[in-house]
Amino acid sequence: MRLPAAGSAWSYPAFSCKRYRPCVVDTRSLTRFGLIAGYALDFAAGDPRRGHPVALFGRAAGALERRVWADSRARGAAFTAICAGTAAGLGLVAQIATRRRPVARFVTTALATWTVLGGRGLAGEGAAMAGLLESADLPGARARLSHLCGRDATGLDAGELARATTESIAENTSDAVVAPLFWGAVAGLPGLLGYRALNTLDAMVGHRSPRYERFGWASARADDVANLVPARLGALAAVLCAPLAGGRPASAWRVWRRDGSRHPSPNAGQVEAAFAGALDVRLGGVNTYGGLTEDRGTLGDGPAPKTADVRRSITLSRAVGLAALAVAVMR
């Protein structure tokens, strides 16, 4: 084995060291490798069954909310800043602490990515819903829908359950896969943890209700801002991946550009419209959440989704996730 000449550097893909000098870490490469490893962990193992960090964060945020809640936007903004700022701050501390420790940086990024991604869990819930619909177990499907969204499933028939599932898979592909990878690529560990914190807060207090109309305003708006770019990247990925789900990119593009703004959400409508065009189905319509009825517009030109379309949406979701990973590691 030929050793390097005295004073020369040992070179590796992610870092280099000189004799008697500390390692200088190529943090961008380590972030890429960590995102890939975390994605692979989520694909292979899914979410931790016990002690999920996101669930622990949710419980801590819930405890703080009970102490500070008031019917006030200012109080809600402070709550959002404390919770999301703490999560992002922990990510920043970890990022600084592993600045010159390449193995620790890689492992930490991989574990954080695994923690914040939800691709396997989303696909699993979609498959469970498809199985219940295929067996005509409507009571079971209505009960299971709560694992995907907060829609009132009482009285929904098989077609409406299939629509709700397809819409939830589309929206959550952006929220639980594309957006975390995007923010991990842009901001590393603070981006991964900070984004997941905002998204969790939006799910907790960002919905419209008498209790959260004002208190949850900041969480909802911050989540909207954080998802502006990822949602559109997810929609574009759905357009490009349409053939993998039996669709056509031209149709997906047309529906996305025409119908994406019909949805009341500035982000969910983008990816749901792209999925509708890619799957050649019609999404949107009237939904009920906590006793409140909302018309979300019509997205797409095809027929209402059937159970087979739920399984196609899972295929499309996985393809979009891989496309997002490719973009994240090639930046």
Q: Within 10 Å of residue 5's Cβ, how many Cβ atoms?
A: 6
**Structural domain range at position 271:** 24-330
Dihedral Cα 61, 63, 64, 67, nearest 10 deg? 150
Give the count of domains, the chain. Answer: 1
Asked whether residue 129 is assigned to any structural domain, the reply reads yes
Straight-line distance from the first to the last Cα atom of the chain, in angstroms, rounded to the nearest whole number:
36
Question: For helices 27-45 and 102-116, what crossing angle results, to 10°?
Answer: 40
pLDDT at res. 25: 55
Residues 6+ apart with CB under 8 A from 9: 16, 17, 18
Residues of the chain with pLDDT under 70: 1-25, 290-292
Q: Is residue 239 part of a domain?
A: yes
Burial of 46 (0-12, 13-18, 19+ CB in 10 A): middle
Residue 296 lies in a domain: yes
Q: Is residue 71 part of a domain?
A: yes
Whether residue 5 is contained in a domain is answered as no
Rounded CA separation 195/191 (Å): 6
pLDDT tens sequence across 302-314? 999 999 999 999 9
91 within a domain of the structure (yes/no): yes
Q: Partners of 17 in the beta sheet?
A: 10
Does a structural domain hold residue 225? yes
Report yes or no on 102 lying in a domain.
yes
For 94-133, b/e burial (b = at least 16 CB within 10 A) is bbeebeebbeebbebbbbbbbbbbbbbbbbebbebbbbbb
Backbone angles phi, psi at 274, to 5 degrees: -65, -40
User: Per residue in 246-273, pLDDT tens?
Assistant: 999 999 999 999 999 989 899 999 999 9
